[in-house]
Amino acid sequence: MRAKFWKRFSKNKLAVLGGCIVLCLFVVSLLAPWLAPYDPSEINLKLVLLPPSSAHWLGTDQLGRDVLSRMIWGARISLKVGFVATGIAVIIGTLLGAFSGYYGGGVDAIIMRFVDIMLCFPTFFLILAVIAILEPSIWNIMIVIGSTSWMGITRLVRADFISLKKRDFILAARAVGASDARIIFVHILPNAMASILVAATLGIAGAILTESALSFLGIGVQPPTPSWGNILTAGKDNIDIAWWLSFYPGLAILATVLGYNMLGEGIRDSLDPRLIK
């Protein structure tokens, strides 16, 4: 099965490209202290809004800070937000989806009506409202994004559990007296991990995009902490004279989100039993 997965995945050029983009993001994030040529928070008013040059490859911002260094450190912020927020969403969505699909009946009805209620709210505006009430910080952002993006995972896991709980190996587990907890977490959940993995990969892209939008609006990651979103904010204020402040972080967000989406689609296609021969 693993060999078939890698064989199918390696043939999907877009998926491989997405994996390479994600890998590059990991490497840049981990090696940020060594890759960044300057201190990302160092202010030098003599170097304000310099265009890209050999000294500053991506130019400088309105405070004379090196944009390349801030972009590199911003990649670490994006990675942290993507993984923590998606991890929260996966935990909530998996637990609710597992209980809903396994027990059915009243439990299923209550959980799914709650999911429907959450889906009725415009997610981004709900996040804006919560962040406006709370103190803007990286941890609050991750918790809020994760707490408002679990509904799709819940539905996906619920569907898998409804299908898997009718299989013969689950009936056998019940026959030997296995507890509900053991059946859910030991027998069914591992068989639903493929769908969860795909949803998590796609969810990381969404979390990064949401964080960038919040930072762009000024209620996300707060300066002087570098973030692609707050670099874009500086670009908006100086769009007529400093095009590089908008172009490079926008390109980084586009490439990152596109990379995770291509990787997620590739993993889904490679794991789909209807496509594996």
Q: What is the pLDDT of residue 273?
A: 52
Side-chain-side CA neighbours of residue 30 (13 Å): 6
pLDDT of residue 260: 92
- For 199, other C-beta atoms within 10 Å of its C-beta total 23
Q: What is the pLDDT along the chain (277 residues), one digit of tens a residue?
A: 577 778 888 888 888 999 999 999 999 999 999 999 999 988 888 888 889 999 899 999 888 999 999 999 999 888 888 899 999 999 999 999 999 999 988 999 999 999 998 888 777 787 878 777 877 778 888 888 898 889 999 999 999 999 888 888 888 988 888 888 999 998 999 888 888 988 998 899 889 888 888 888 888 788 788 888 888 888 887 888 888 888 999 999 999 999 999 998 888 888 765 554 4
Domain ranges of the chain: 11-28+65-271
Reduced to 3 states (helix: H, G, I; strand: E, B; else coil), residue 58 is coil
Could you count the other beta carbons within 10 Å of the beta carbon of residue 232? 22
Q: What is the pLDDT of residue 87?
A: 94
Q: CATH classification of 11-28+65-271, choosing from 3.40.462.10, 1.10.3720.10, 3.30.1180.20, 1.10.10.10?
A: 1.10.3720.10
φ, ψ for residue 15, nearest 5 deg: -65, -40
Which tens digits make up the pLDDT trace of 76-94?
888 888 899 999 999 999 9
Check residue 275 and report its DSSP letter. Answer: T
Q: Output the pLDDT for position 277.
A: 47
* 60 strand-pairing partners: 66
Q: Of all residues in the chain, what percent are helix, strand and coil, respectively (each to 5)? A: 75, 0, 25
- Residue 226, pLDDT score: 87
- 229 touches 220 (CB < 8 A): yes
Contacts of 200 (CB under 8 A, 6+ apart): 86, 87, 90, 153
* Per-residue confidence (pLDDT) for residue 1, from 0 to 100: 59
Q: Please give the Cα distance from 48 to 51 (Å, whole number).
A: 9
At 141, the amino acid letter reads I
Chain CA centroid to CA 100, Å: 25
Contact (Cβ atoms closer than 8 angstroms) between residue 199 and residue 152: yes
Task: Report the SS3 class of residue 37.
Answer: coil
Structure confidence by residue, pLDDT tens digits, 246-274: 899 999 999 999 999 999 888 888 876 55
**Which secondary-structure segment (H or E) carries 154?**
helix 151-164
The pair of structure tokens assigned to 226 is: 């570098």
